[in-house]
Structure 1
Amino acid sequence: MAGTIICYGDSNTYGYDPCTLMGDQYPEQNRWTGILESETKWKIENHGICGRCIPHTGSQIRFACEQLKDWQDKDAPVWMWIMLGTNDLLQEQQFTAKDTAQRMETFLKKLMAEPAVSSGKITLYLIAPARMEYGAWVDEERQYQESRQLGEEYKKVAERLGIGFTDAGKWDIPVVYDGVHFSEKGHHIFAQNIQEEITWLK
Structure 2
Amino acid sequence: MPGTIICYGDSNTYGYDPHDQMEGRYPKDVRWTGILDTETEWKIENHGVNGRSIPHTVSTVKFACDQVRDWHRRPNSVWLWVMLGSNDLLENPDFTAVDVAKRMERFLKRLMEEAGLASRKMKLRLIAPPAMKEGAWVDRPELLVESRNLGKEYQRIARRVGVAFTDASGWDIPTIYDGVHFTEEGHRKFAEKIREEIKI
Fold agreement, TM-score > 0.5: yes
Cα distance in 2 for residues equivalent to 1:5 and 1:140: 35
Bigger fraction of residues in helix: 1
The one-letter code sitting in structure 1 at the alignment partner of 2:18 is P
Matches within 5 A, 1:57-96: 57-96=57-96
Which residue pairs with 2:160 in the alignment?
160
The answer (yes or no) to whether the contact 1:7–1:47 under 8 Å persists in 2 is: yes
Aligned residues with identical type, % of pairs? 59
Q: Does the Cα contact within 8 Å between 2:97 and 2:147 map onto a contact in 1?
A: yes
Report the equivalent of 1:106. Answer: 106
Q: Which residue of 2 aligns with 1:116?
A: 116
Kept after mapping to 1: 8 A contact 2:20/2:26: no
Matched, 1:42 2:51: no
TM-score when normalising by structure 1: 0.97
Equivalent position SS for 1:80 = strand
Q: Which residue pairs with 1:181 in the alignment?
A: 181
Return the alpha-carbon distance in structure 2 between the equivalents of residues 20 and 11 of structure 1.
14
RMSD over aligned CA atoms reads 0.9
Cα separation, 2, equivalents of 1:113 and 1:72: 13
Q: How far off is 1:22 after superposition?
A: 4.5
Structure 2 regions of 5+ residues with no counterpart? none
1:8 partner amino acid: Y
Deviations 1:39-64 (A, max 9, x none): 10000000000000000011111110
Q: Distance in 1 between matches of 2:22 and 2:149?
A: 32
Measured at CA, do residues 149 and 118 of structure 1 come closer, stay the same or move farther in structure 2, by a change above 3 Å?
same
| Residue 145 (structure 2) aligns with | 145
TM-score, scaled to structure 2: 0.98
Verify: 1:18 aligned to 2:11, yes or no.
no
Contact 1:94 1:142 in 2 (8 A): no
Higher mean C-alpha displacement, 47-56 vs 21-30: 21-30
